[in-house]
């Protein structure tokens, strides 16, 4: 292995450590607790080392969002592949989405609430974000209904899921009613 390859590998390891530490800190204490000073202390590198990887917190949030988008896509595909029939797939998709949001609040915020400097729904949207949307679309396209553009239907269904996730997490909707909300969404929005 050349010196250059070793340095690149070490850099990638440091970058993963920064992202993992930021994510851990955000999940434990919220994104306000994530500062370059605290990250530097936790990973035992200087702040200039952090800045050599990320220009600031915004880029770190973006890196966490991209990582989370990949995880969300995997979770959605795993849930829908295990379900039998369109209705069951949509229910599994909705449940997996809401479960992901509940289990990973800081990642969910990085993806959909905070400014991570990422482009959404544009030509230059990063692949992990496109793939997470594709995981939704793959399932929801089959239940959009006649004459309904599948992408538009997916956006509306996703918006409903996001609303349920956000309102439940903020305590404005009781979590014990999540199942009936998912049933209603599936039964009223999806043509199965």
**Does the pLDDT at position 192 exceed 90?**
no
Residue 9 contacts by C-beta under 8 Å, 6 or more apart in sequence? 1
Largest CA-CA distance found in the chain, in angstroms, rounded = 59
* Beta carbons of 116 and 124 less than 8 angstroms apart: no
Tell me the C-alpha distance between 36 and 56, whole Å.
Answer: 7
What pLDDT score does 71 carry?
98
Predicted confidence (pLDDT) per residue in 54-93, tens digit: 999 999 999 999 999 999 999 999 999 999 999 999 999 9
Integer Cα distance of 72 and 76 in angstroms? 6
Token readout for 103 is 């289990």
Spatial separation of the C-alpha atoms in residues 55 and 76, rounded to whole Å: 32
Q: Which two tokens stand for residue 112?
A: 């959909």
Token readout for 124 is 């230059």
pLDDT value for 112:
97
How far the first Cα of the chain sits from its last, in Å, is: 55
Report the alpha-carbon distance of residue 26 to residue 34 in Å, rounded.
Answer: 6
Mean pLDDT is lowest, of 2-11, 18-27, 127-136, for: 2-11
Q: If you search the block for the tokens 């609303």, which residue do you land on?
A: 163
pLDDT confidence of residue 127: 98
Token pair, residue 180, equals 């009936």
Contacts of 143 (CB under 8 A, 6+ apart): 86, 87, 90, 153, 190, 191, 192
- Give yes or no for a contact between 36 and 62, defined as CB atoms under 8 angstroms apart: no
Q: Which residue has the tokens 């936790």?
A: 42
pLDDT of 134-191, one tens digit each? 999 999 999 999 999 999 999 999 999 999 999 999 999 999 999 999 999 999 988 7
Q: Give the H or E element holding residue 109.
A: helix 105-112
């Amino acid at each position: 292995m050349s010196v250059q390859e070793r340095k690149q590998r070490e850099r990638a390891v440091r970058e993963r450590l920064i992202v993992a530490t930021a994510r851990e800190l955000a999940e434990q204490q919220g994104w306000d607790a994530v500062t370059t000073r605290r990250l530097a202390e936790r990973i035992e590198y200087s702040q200039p080392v952090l800045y050599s990887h990320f220009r600031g917190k915004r880029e770190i949030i973006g890196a966490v969002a991209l990582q989370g988008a990949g995880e969300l896509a995997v979770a959605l595909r795993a849930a829908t592949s295990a379900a039998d029939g369109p209705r069951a797939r949509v229910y599994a998709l909705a449940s997996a989405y809401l479960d992901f949001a509940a289990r990973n609040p800081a990642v969910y915020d990085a993806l959909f609430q905070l400014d991570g400097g990422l482009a959404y729904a544009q030509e230059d949207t990063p692949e992990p974000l496109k793939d997470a949307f594709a995981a939704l679309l793959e399932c929801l396209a089959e239940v959009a209904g006649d004459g309904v553009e599948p992408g538009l239907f997916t956006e509306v269904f996703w918006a409903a899921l996001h609303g349920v996730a956000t309102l439940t997490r903020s305590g404005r909707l009781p979590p014990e009613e999540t199942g009936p909300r998912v049933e209603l969404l599936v039964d009223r929005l999806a043509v199965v």
